[in-house]
Chains A and B, each alone.
Chain A
Amino acid sequence: EPEVTQTPSHQVTQMGQEVILRCVPISNHLYFYWYRQILGQKVEFLVSFYNNEISEKSEIFDDQFSVERPDGSNFTLKIRSTKLEDSAMYFCASSEGKAEGEETQYFGPGTRLLVL
Protein backbone atom coordinates (compact mmCIF):
# COMPACT_ATOMS: atom_id res chain seq x y z
CA GLU A 1 0.00 0.00 0.00
CA PRO A 2 1.42 3.42 -0.94
CA GLU A 3 2.42 5.58 1.99
CA VAL A 4 3.83 8.98 2.83
CA THR A 5 7.39 8.87 4.10
CA GLN A 6 9.29 11.46 6.10
CA THR A 7 12.93 12.02 7.03
CA PRO A 8 14.50 12.36 9.47
CA SER A 9 12.39 10.67 12.12
CA HIS A 10 14.04 12.81 14.80
CA GLN A 11 15.96 16.07 14.61
CA VAL A 12 17.68 17.95 17.41
CA THR A 13 18.87 21.45 16.69
CA GLN A 14 20.08 24.57 18.44
CA MET A 15 17.87 27.64 18.65
CA GLY A 16 18.49 29.92 15.69
CA GLN A 17 19.56 27.14 13.36
CA GLU A 18 17.82 26.29 10.10
CA VAL A 19 16.17 22.91 9.68
CA ILE A 20 14.73 21.19 6.62
CA LEU A 21 12.17 18.47 7.05
CA ARG A 22 11.62 16.16 4.12
CA CYS A 23 8.59 14.28 2.87
CA VAL A 24 7.81 12.01 -0.04
CA PRO A 25 4.05 12.14 -0.67
CA ILE A 26 2.08 9.32 -2.26
CA SER A 27 3.05 9.31 -5.93
CA ASN A 28 -0.28 10.06 -7.63
CA HIS A 29 -1.36 12.66 -5.08
CA LEU A 30 -1.54 16.29 -6.10
CA TYR A 31 -2.07 18.13 -2.80
CA PHE A 32 0.51 18.23 -0.03
CA TYR A 33 0.29 19.49 3.52
CA TRP A 34 2.33 20.17 6.62
CA TYR A 35 0.92 19.96 10.13
CA ARG A 36 2.50 20.21 13.52
CA GLN A 37 1.56 18.71 16.87
CA ILE A 38 3.10 20.13 20.01
CA LEU A 39 3.38 17.44 22.68
CA GLY A 40 0.05 16.91 24.38
CA GLN A 41 -1.81 19.26 22.04
CA LYS A 42 -3.92 18.91 18.93
CA VAL A 43 -2.74 18.58 15.36
CA GLU A 44 -2.52 22.05 13.74
CA PHE A 45 -2.59 22.88 10.05
CA LEU A 46 0.41 24.81 8.73
CA VAL A 47 0.21 24.91 4.96
CA SER A 48 -1.16 23.25 1.84
CA PHE A 49 0.60 23.12 -1.52
CA TYR A 50 -0.70 22.47 -5.00
CA ASN A 51 0.67 22.96 -8.48
CA ASN A 52 3.98 24.22 -7.13
CA GLU A 53 2.55 26.94 -4.97
CA ILE A 54 1.03 27.48 -1.55
CA SER A 55 -2.77 27.23 -1.69
CA GLU A 56 -3.60 27.81 1.99
CA LYS A 57 -1.62 28.68 5.08
CA SER A 58 -2.42 29.23 8.72
CA GLU A 59 -1.37 32.01 11.09
CA ILE A 60 1.34 29.72 12.42
CA PHE A 61 3.03 29.62 9.01
CA ASP A 62 4.90 32.91 9.25
CA ASP A 63 7.98 34.20 7.41
CA GLN A 64 10.19 31.74 9.29
CA PHE A 65 8.59 28.88 7.38
CA SER A 66 8.81 27.97 3.72
CA VAL A 67 7.88 24.97 1.60
CA GLU A 68 9.29 23.66 -1.61
CA ARG A 69 8.91 20.81 -4.04
CA PRO A 70 12.46 20.68 -5.32
CA ASP A 71 11.90 17.71 -7.62
CA GLY A 72 9.14 15.34 -8.69
CA SER A 73 8.98 13.44 -5.43
CA ASN A 74 10.15 15.45 -2.42
CA PHE A 75 8.21 18.07 -0.49
CA THR A 76 10.15 20.02 2.12
CA LEU A 77 9.42 22.30 5.07
CA LYS A 78 12.17 24.73 6.03
CA ILE A 79 12.29 26.61 9.31
CA ARG A 80 14.83 29.40 8.92
CA SER A 81 15.72 30.28 12.48
CA THR A 82 14.27 27.82 14.93
CA LYS A 83 12.78 28.87 18.25
CA LEU A 84 12.21 26.79 21.34
CA GLU A 85 8.49 26.82 20.66
CA ASP A 86 9.03 25.16 17.27
CA SER A 87 9.68 21.90 19.14
CA ALA A 88 6.91 19.59 17.97
CA MET A 89 6.07 16.62 15.79
CA TYR A 90 5.77 17.71 12.17
CA PHE A 91 3.51 15.63 9.94
CA CYS A 92 3.40 15.69 6.18
CA ALA A 93 0.22 14.58 4.45
CA SER A 94 -1.02 14.22 0.90
CA SER A 95 -4.33 13.80 -0.89
CA GLU A 96 -5.43 12.93 -4.41
CA GLY A 97 -7.43 16.10 -4.83
CA LYS A 98 -10.01 18.38 -3.27
CA ALA A 99 -13.19 16.94 -4.69
CA GLU A 100 -15.44 14.77 -2.56
CA GLY A 101 -13.94 11.36 -2.24
CA GLU A 102 -10.46 12.62 -3.12
CA GLU A 103 -9.83 14.90 -0.21
CA THR A 104 -8.88 12.29 2.38
CA GLN A 105 -5.43 13.09 3.68
CA TYR A 106 -2.86 10.39 4.40
CA PHE A 107 -0.20 11.21 6.94
CA GLY A 108 3.47 10.37 7.14
CA PRO A 109 5.03 9.04 10.35
CA GLY A 110 6.27 12.49 11.34
CA THR A 111 9.54 14.17 12.23
CA ARG A 112 10.04 14.93 15.90
CA LEU A 113 11.88 18.24 16.14
CA LEU A 114 13.53 19.31 19.37
CA VAL A 115 14.97 22.82 19.60
CA LEU A 116 17.45 23.37 22.43
Chain B
Amino acid sequence: RKEVEQDPGPFNVPEGATVAFNCTYSNSASQSFFWYRQDCRKEPKLLMSVYSSGNEDGRFTAQLNRASQYISLLIRDSKLSDSATYLCVVNTGNQFYFGTGTSLTVIP
Protein backbone atom coordinates (compact mmCIF):
# COMPACT_ATOMS: atom_id res chain seq x y z
CA ARG B 1 0.00 0.00 0.00
CA LYS B 2 1.33 3.43 -0.90
CA GLU B 3 2.19 5.76 1.96
CA VAL B 4 0.52 8.72 0.27
CA GLU B 5 -2.09 8.62 -2.47
CA GLN B 6 -3.34 11.49 -4.58
CA ASP B 7 -5.57 11.78 -7.60
CA PRO B 8 -3.05 12.61 -10.35
CA GLY B 9 -5.57 14.64 -12.34
CA PRO B 10 -5.07 16.52 -14.54
CA PHE B 11 -7.43 19.20 -13.37
CA ASN B 12 -8.14 21.83 -16.03
CA VAL B 13 -10.15 24.72 -14.61
CA PRO B 14 -11.03 28.22 -15.82
CA GLU B 15 -9.61 31.29 -14.13
CA GLY B 16 -11.60 32.20 -11.07
CA ALA B 17 -12.77 28.66 -10.38
CA THR B 18 -12.50 26.88 -7.06
CA VAL B 19 -10.67 23.57 -7.11
CA ALA B 20 -10.08 20.96 -4.41
CA PHE B 21 -7.39 18.31 -4.14
CA ASN B 22 -7.51 15.30 -1.88
CA CYS B 23 -4.87 13.08 -0.41
CA THR B 24 -4.92 10.02 1.83
CA TYR B 25 -2.12 8.55 3.88
CA SER B 26 -1.71 5.02 5.18
CA ASN B 27 0.19 5.38 8.46
CA SER B 28 -1.90 6.57 11.39
CA ALA B 29 1.31 7.49 13.24
CA SER B 30 2.19 10.17 10.70
CA GLN B 31 3.16 13.33 12.49
CA SER B 32 2.94 16.30 10.19
CA PHE B 33 1.54 17.17 6.82
CA PHE B 34 2.28 19.63 4.07
CA TRP B 35 1.28 20.76 0.63
CA TYR B 36 4.12 21.57 -1.71
CA ARG B 37 3.91 22.99 -5.19
CA GLN B 38 6.18 21.84 -8.01
CA ASP B 39 6.52 23.62 -11.32
CA CYS B 40 7.75 21.68 -14.32
CA ARG B 41 11.38 20.53 -13.81
CA LYS B 42 11.74 22.65 -10.69
CA GLU B 43 12.13 21.87 -7.01
CA PRO B 44 9.16 21.37 -4.65
CA LYS B 45 8.29 24.59 -2.85
CA LEU B 46 6.35 24.71 0.39
CA LEU B 47 2.82 25.96 -0.10
CA MET B 48 1.55 25.41 3.42
CA SER B 49 1.70 23.18 6.44
CA VAL B 50 -1.54 21.42 7.36
CA TYR B 51 -2.80 21.54 10.92
CA SER B 52 -5.58 19.57 12.60
CA SER B 53 -7.59 22.73 13.11
CA GLY B 54 -7.35 23.57 9.42
CA ASN B 55 -5.52 26.59 8.15
CA GLU B 56 -5.94 29.26 5.53
CA ASP B 57 -3.44 31.36 3.65
CA GLY B 58 -5.12 33.80 1.31
CA ARG B 59 -6.89 31.83 -1.41
CA PHE B 60 -5.59 28.50 -0.09
CA THR B 61 -7.23 26.41 2.63
CA ALA B 62 -5.85 23.13 3.95
CA GLN B 63 -7.70 20.62 6.08
CA LEU B 64 -6.58 17.53 7.94
CA ASN B 65 -8.80 14.71 9.13
CA ARG B 66 -6.70 12.37 11.24
CA ALA B 67 -9.54 9.92 11.84
CA SER B 68 -9.98 9.38 8.10
CA GLN B 69 -6.28 9.92 7.33
CA TYR B 70 -7.23 12.47 4.75
CA ILE B 71 -5.79 15.83 3.74
CA SER B 72 -7.30 18.38 1.42
CA LEU B 73 -6.31 21.59 -0.32
CA LEU B 74 -8.83 24.11 -1.60
CA ILE B 75 -7.83 26.86 -4.02
CA ARG B 76 -10.33 29.67 -4.50
CA ASP B 77 -10.37 32.21 -7.34
CA SER B 78 -7.79 30.28 -9.38
CA LYS B 79 -5.10 32.31 -11.14
CA LEU B 80 -3.11 31.36 -14.22
CA SER B 81 -0.04 31.31 -11.98
CA ASP B 82 -1.58 28.52 -9.90
CA SER B 83 -0.88 26.08 -12.75
CA ALA B 84 1.53 23.53 -11.29
CA THR B 85 1.67 20.09 -9.71
CA TYR B 86 0.52 20.00 -6.08
CA LEU B 87 2.31 17.49 -3.88
CA CYS B 88 0.85 16.05 -0.71
CA VAL B 89 3.66 15.34 1.75
CA VAL B 90 3.42 13.33 4.94
CA ASN B 91 6.09 13.18 7.64
CA THR B 92 6.17 9.67 9.12
CA GLY B 93 8.96 8.52 11.40
CA ASN B 94 11.03 11.55 10.41
CA GLN B 95 10.84 10.65 6.73
CA PHE B 96 8.98 12.77 4.22
CA TYR B 97 6.74 10.74 1.92
CA PHE B 98 5.53 12.41 -1.23
CA GLY B 99 2.41 11.70 -3.22
CA THR B 100 2.69 11.49 -6.99
CA GLY B 101 1.17 14.95 -7.25
CA THR B 102 -1.98 16.41 -8.75
CA SER B 103 -1.57 18.42 -11.92
CA LEU B 104 -3.52 21.67 -12.19
CA THR B 105 -3.85 23.82 -15.29
CA VAL B 106 -5.76 27.09 -15.00
CA ILE B 107 -7.14 28.14 -18.35
CA PRO B 108 -7.70 31.80 -19.36
Chain A residues proximal to chain B, CB less than 8 Å? 33, 35, 41-45, 48, 55-56, 58, 89, 91, 98, 100, 103-110, 112
In the assembled complex, which residues on chain B have CB atoms less than 8 Å from the CB atom of A112?
A: 41
**What are 21 A-B pairs with beta-carbon distances under 8 A?**
A35-B98, A41-B100, A42-B100, A43-B44, A43-B87, A45-B95, A45-B96, A45-B98, A48-B94, A48-B95, A56-B94, A58-B95, A89-B41, A91-B44, A100-B32, A103-B32, A104-B34, A104-B46, A108-B43, A109-B43, A110-B42
Are A44 and B95 in contact, with the CB atoms below 8 A?
Answer: no
- Complex Cα gap A91–B101 (Å): 16
Are B95 and A98 in contact, with the CB atoms below 8 A?
Answer: no
Are B45 and A105 in contact, with the CB atoms below 8 A?
Answer: no
- Complex Cα gap A110–B44 (Å): 10
Are B94 and A91 in contact, with the CB atoms below 8 A?
Answer: no
Kindly provide the distance from the CB of B6 to the nearest chain A CB, expressed in whole angstroms. Answer: 9
- Complex Cα gap A89–B38 (Å): 13
- Complex Cα gap A58–B96 (Å): 11
